[in-house]
A and B are shown apart, each in its own frame.
Chain A
Amino acid sequence: GQQLNQSPQSMFIQEGEDVSMNCTSSSIFNTWLWYKQDPGEGPVLLIALYKAGELTSNGRLTAQFGITRKDSFLNISASIPSDVGIYFCAGQVGFTGGGNKLTFGTGTQLKVEL
């Protein structure tokens, strides 16, 4: 099946630093999503992107839908301790549908040092 590679696999950063992570695919996706999983919880949707080149923000988070439609990027500005968790990208070939059409990335684990 399709694979989504996320990098880095893990990051250990200082509070206040900016964070960048990305997700690349061997196939084209028409929808990209970014989820965050807090420790001991299930993933929660952060940002959804529906158009190539789209740049969308949610507070300190900014995500971009790559022009080639094979990648996506997530940036976190001025990290704080509650940013700790695992960040997953997910791609969907179509514009509609449910979780059965999502391919999840391998995850980026973020740890923040005070």
Chain B
Amino acid sequence: DADVTQTPRNRITKTGKRIMLECSQTKGHDRMYWYRQDPGLGLRLIYYSFDVKDINKGEISDGYSVSRQAQAKFSLSLESAIPNQTALYFCATSDPGRAGASGELFFGEGSRLTVL
């Protein structure tokens, strides 16, 4: 079983709909992230959280919100989806105490979202 699990894996929705992408992890890591991947643009950080009470905006947070319900769960919401939010979304975790592996992220399998 995957250590970082994302649901749904694929979703097609319409403009204006509210969408939630969920992420759960069994790695026991405190730090969790949401990234967006677009062809030719690489991975861009949307939001990140270092513990349950901590939420921080990333590079491209406009149009998105997040909730850290527990150490193991971090969800991403699009309150009113628009077509340019069509992308592949990744949840990731990291462990700051992991010596010699600074910068290592553990990614989920991705959630492909299409907004019509």
Kindly state the interface size class of chain B when it binds its partner.
Answer: 20 to 34
Q: Contact: A43 with B109, CB < 8 Å?
A: no
Q: How far is the CB of A104 from chain B (nearest CB, A)?
A: 4
From the candidates B31, B42, B94, name the one contacting A104 in the complex (CB within 8 A). Answer: B42
Cα distance, A41 to B111, chains bound together (Å): 10
Cα distance, A96 to B100, chains bound together (Å): 9
Chain A, range 43-74, C-beta contacts under 8 Å to B: 43-45, 48, 50
Q: Contact: B101 with A42, CB < 8 Å?
A: no
User: B109 contacts which chain A residues (CB < 8 A)?
Assistant: 40-42
Cα distance, A95 to B99, chains bound together (Å): 11
Chain B, range 29-60, C-beta contacts under 8 Å to A: 31, 33, 35, 40-45, 48, 50, 56, 58-59
Residues of A within 8 A of B (CB): 1, 4, 6, 9, 31, 33, 35, 40-45, 48, 50, 88, 90, 92, 95-102, 104-107
